[in-house]
Copies of this chain bind each other. A is one copy, B any other.
């Protein structure tokens, strides 16, 4: 099969403009905000086949397909979304959205503030997972989608899927929560804070208003990304891929690249720091830290889930140490105690946290089977 056969093909991003101010959990209001989004497939007559794909820390609305014939790379989850793929665009109407605070076209710290004509910078308010879900709900209204057949996400995306079932119980049929956690651990927060400190202490950060200085905290963002990457891969996976391989075959006794793993990480860091907005990175890590739906229910996750109506697929990967299987089981246990419908899969993989973006066959089979059932339910 050629790519053309199972690709959504050439896609175009769209912009939804909202002029009603959005109240945020922090107490701030954000007025005149925009969401960049893409859709694939066709919304059926009774509007029952819509699927929302929520993105993780560095993701965006461009989930599948290419913008031009010679586009270098497709959307970030092209492997999972397309005709005949597990999230089958012949059956589902799939929506991808760049979250508020993002740097891929939705209103965020690097966007021009209408009031001033300058980038928001440090003035952009901190946004949370529930703020994103509220914004996504307004986009759903705009698209005429009263109820999602499924809301799907990995990692931070999984937290959005979970939040949807709590914030809008009647609007979610199924939540697919993959490689995620119901809240961050102290270690998770610690890694995020080192990443943030790398950015905040970069002399080019200028308190978040680096745009007007014509610079960007690339050093800090590069370090944050290098560190992030370590937590996305498993120890064993890194060992298999890089081991102690030396770039030049021998020790050089200096600080240039010596081990292949150094080369890989520095490349990832450099590339990311060229394209991503540091303020968005900060916001995303804060949204991760703050997410804790049980907190409002006396720290009892089952109580937080008592009004949930969705059915759940929770999936974790054996070598994921960022959000280990134990973290997914916390959610599964709470859903069970709350007497909700939940399927749980702990998938053998060497790919660590990144496995949610990969194509380990048991994972693909699981997604295909589960989403086939969802499609049948909604007659798609």
Taking Cβ atoms with an 8 Å cutoff, the residues of A that contact B are 25-28, 125-126, 183-187, 189-191, 193-194, 196-198, 200-203, 219, 222-223, 226-227, 229-230, 233, 235, 238-239, 241-244, 251, 253-255, 258-259, 261-262, 265-266, 269, 282, 286, 289-290, 292, 321
Say yes or no: B185 contacts A255, CB within 8 Å: no
- Pick from B190, B233, B282: contact of A265, CB below 8 A: B190
Which of chain B's residues have a CB closer than 8 A to the CB of A191?
Answer: 230
Which of chain B's residues have a CB closer than 8 A to the CB of A239?
Answer: 185-187
- Pick from B189, B243, B258, B266: contact of A244, CB below 8 A: B189
Say yes or no: A223 contacts B223, CB within 8 Å: yes
Say yes or no: B186 contacts A290, CB within 8 Å: no
Please, how many angstroms separate the alpha-carbon atoms of A233 and B265 in the complex? 23
With most chain B CB atoms within 10 A of its CB, the pick from A28, A187, A202 is: A187
Q: Top 5 A-B pairs ranked by shortest CB distance?
A: A26-B253, A186-B238, A126-B253, A186-B242, A187-B235
Say yes or no: B186 contacts A241, CB within 8 Å: yes
Which of chain B's residues have a CB closer than 8 A to the CB of A242?
Answer: 186
Quick one: given A183-B244, A185-B235, are A197 and B266 in contact (CB under 8 Å)?
yes
Further 16 A-B residue pairs, CB within 8 A, beyond A26-B253, A187-B239, A193-B266? A25-B253, A28-B253, A125-B253, A126-B253, A183-B244, A185-B238, A186-B235, A187-B230, A190-B265, A193-B226, A194-B230, A197-B226, A197-B269, A202-B219, A255-B286, A258-B289
20 A-B interface contacts by CB (under 8 A):
A25-B253, A186-B238, A187-B235, A189-B244, A189-B259, A189-B262, A190-B226, A193-B226, A193-B261, A193-B266, A194-B226, A194-B230, A196-B255, A197-B223, A200-B255, A201-B219, A201-B222, A202-B219, A251-B290, A255-B286
Which of chain B's residues have a CB closer than 8 A to the CB of A289?
Answer: 258-259
With most chain B CB atoms within 10 A of its CB, the pick from A190, A198, A289 is: A190
Please, how many angstroms separate the alpha-carbon atoms of A322 and B183 in the complex? 24
Please, how many angstroms separate the alpha-carbon atoms of A244 and B222 in the complex? 27
- Pick from B186, B203, B244, B265: contact of A261, CB below 8 A: B186
Please, how many angstroms separate the alpha-carbon atoms of A203 and B203 in the complex? 8
Which of chain B's residues have a CB closer than 8 A to the CB of A269?
Answer: 197
**Nearest residue, chain B, Cβ from A193:** B262
Quick one: given A185-B238, A186-B242, are A227 and B266 in contact (CB under 8 Å)?
no
Which of chain B's residues have a CB closer than 8 A to the CB of A254?
Answer: 126
Please, how many angstroms separate the alpha-carbon atoms of A289 and B254 in the complex? 12
Please, how many angstroms separate the alpha-carbon atoms of A337 and B97 in the complex? 57
> How far does the Cβ of A298 sit from chain B's closest Cβ, in whole Å?
14
> How far does the Cβ of A222 sit from chain B's closest Cβ, in whole Å?
7
Please, how many angstroms separate the alpha-carbon atoms of A186 and B261 in the complex? 6
Say yes or no: B194 contacts A265, CB within 8 Å: yes
Say yes or no: A198 contacts B196, CB within 8 Å: no
> How far does the Cβ of A282 sit from chain B's closest Cβ, in whole Å?
7
Say yes or no: A227 contacts B227, CB within 8 Å: yes
Say yes or no: B197 contacts A259, CB within 8 Å: no
